[in-house]
Amino acid sequence: MTGRKTAAEVFDALAGRYEEAFGAVPAQREALDWLAARLPRGARVLDVGSGTGRPTAETLARAGCEVTGIDVSAEMVALARTRVPGARFEQADVRTWTPPGPGGFDAVCAFFPLLMMDQREVGACLEWMASWTVPGGYLVVATVPGDIDALDIEFMGHEVTVSSLSAEEYLRRIEAAGLEVLHHETTLFHPAGALADPEEHLFCYARRPMP
């Protein structure tokens, strides 16, 4: 393919259309309900690939959490700041972002942000996100699983290069990072509208054990 775009370029162009297609994933809503029920008010939460802020940051901010969202897309960050004023958002790439200040997060959420990078970066990002969880904290992730490295595809009208790991490798990497996998499932999701094709989704809930 020619004319491949970065994640920032793609999501700047898509903006709210991504939410229209992927804003109502049932398994993501279930994951957020599960997480919100386990976090106390004031819990520090990081939303990696926060997009428009909905549904992740919005749901957890309404539950009383202190939510920080990071996203590579300036357009997505601008939308999120408008739509979810109860959370904080910044334009940042998870591959280079450094958590501010001491301590970690009571929960890190990452719903589909690791696809437009190579396999080495996917694995490294999983390790970093796991390391940002405090003892007793949670990592909740979702991806399109598959042993894929630098595959050229068309996504919502844009030519992109994507990578992923198999479901088994995702779980292995999370456990190797010191977290306990509490739940995982694979589902098939049909996006709204005609811009995106059905996708297989892997959801995983994990927790860092208390010392």
The per-residue pLDDT for 102 is: 78
**Cross-strand pairs, 50:** none
- Centre a 10 Å sphere on the Cβ of residue 182 and count the other Cβ atoms it contains: 13
Question: Looking at residues 91-120, what average pLDDT do you find?
Answer: 94
What type of residue sits at position 26? P
Positive or negative torsion for Cα 32, 195, 115, 71: negative
- With CA atoms as reference, report the closest residue to 193 among 163, 156, 141: 156
Task: Name the pLDDT band for 1 (thresholds 50, 70, 90).
Answer: very low
pLDDT at 7: 92
Mean pLDDT over each residue of the chain, to the nearest integer: 95
Q: What is the pLDDT of residues 67-86, one digit of tens each?
A: 999 999 999 999 999 999 99
Question: Look-up: residue for tokens 């279930």?
Answer: 30
Q: Is the pLDDT of residue 101 over 80?
A: no
Residue 2 has pLDDT above 60, yes or no: no
Chain segment 179-210, per-residue pLDDT in tens: 999 999 999 999 988 878 899 999 999 999 99
Q: pTM of the predicted model, to two decimals?
A: 0.95
Task: Write the DSSP string, 98-155.
Answer: ---SSS-EEEEEEES-SSSS-HHHHHHHHHHHHHTEEEEEEEEEEE---SEEEEEEEE
Q: Report yes or no: 143 and 123 within 8 Å, Cβ to Cβ.
A: no
